[in-house]
Amino acid sequence: MAFEKVNEIIKEEPAYASLTDLAAEKLGGKALYCTDDFFAEKENLLKPGRGIFIADKFTDRGKWMDGWESRRKRVPGHDWVVIKLAVPGIIAGFDIDTHFFLGNHPPHASIEAMYLPHTNDNEEWEKLSWEEVLGKSSLDAGSRNFFSCESQKIYSHVRLHIYPDGGVARFRVYGQVVKDWNAIQPHEDIDLASALHGAKALCCNDMFFSEMDNLLMPHKGIHMGDGWETKRNRTPNNRDWVIVKLATPGLIHKVIVDTAHFKGNYPDCCTLEACFSKDDEAVKNNQVDWQEILPTQKLSADAEHEFTSQLTCNTVYSHVRFNIFPDGGVSRLRIFGCKS
In tens, the pLDDT along 187-197 reads 899 999 999 99
- The two domains 3-177 and 181-339 share their CATH topology (first three levels equal): yes
Span 43-65, average pLDDT = 94
User: What is the model's pTM?
Assistant: 0.92
List the domain boundaries for the chain: 3-177, 181-339
3-state SS, residue 213: helix
Q: Answer whether the bond into residue 164 is a cis peptide, omega within 30°.
A: yes
Q: How far apart are CA 130 and CA 147, in angstroms?
A: 18
User: Could you count the other beta carbons within 10 Å of the beta carbon of residue 325?
Assistant: 18
Please provide the size of the chain in residues: 340
**Cβ(53)–Cβ(6) under 8 Å?**
no
Instruction: Work out the pLDDT band at 186, boundaries 50, 70, 90.
Output: confident
Topology adopted by domain 3-177: Jelly Rolls (2.60.120)
pLDDT of residue 118: 85
Residue partners of 126: CB distance under 8 A and separation at least 6: none
* Whether residue 108 has pLDDT greater than 70: yes
* Whether residue 7 has pLDDT greater than 60: no
* Whether residue 258 has pLDDT greater than 70: yes
Instruction: Work out the pLDDT band at 1, boundaries 50, 70, 90.
Output: very low
**Cβ(214)–Cβ(236) under 8 Å?**
no
Q: H/E/C letters for each residue in 1-14? A: CCHHHCCCECCCCC
> What one-letter code names the amino acid at 121?
D
* Whether residue 4 has pLDDT greater than 80: no
Span 238-259, average pLDDT = 98
> What one-letter code names the amino acid at 82?
V
* Whether residue 5 has pLDDT greater than 50: no
What is the percent of the chain where pLDDT is above 70? Answer: 97
Give the rounded distance of the alpha carbon of 235 from its chain centre.
Answer: 31
* Whether residue 120 has pLDDT greater than 90: no
**Cβ(156)–Cβ(116) under 8 Å?**
yes
Topology adopted by domain 181-339: Jelly Rolls (2.60.120)
Span 130-150, average pLDDT = 98
pLDDT of residue 238: 97
pLDDT of residue 184: 92
- CA–CA–CA angle 46, 214, 43 (5° rounding): 15
**Cβ(320)–Cβ(193) under 8 Å?**
yes
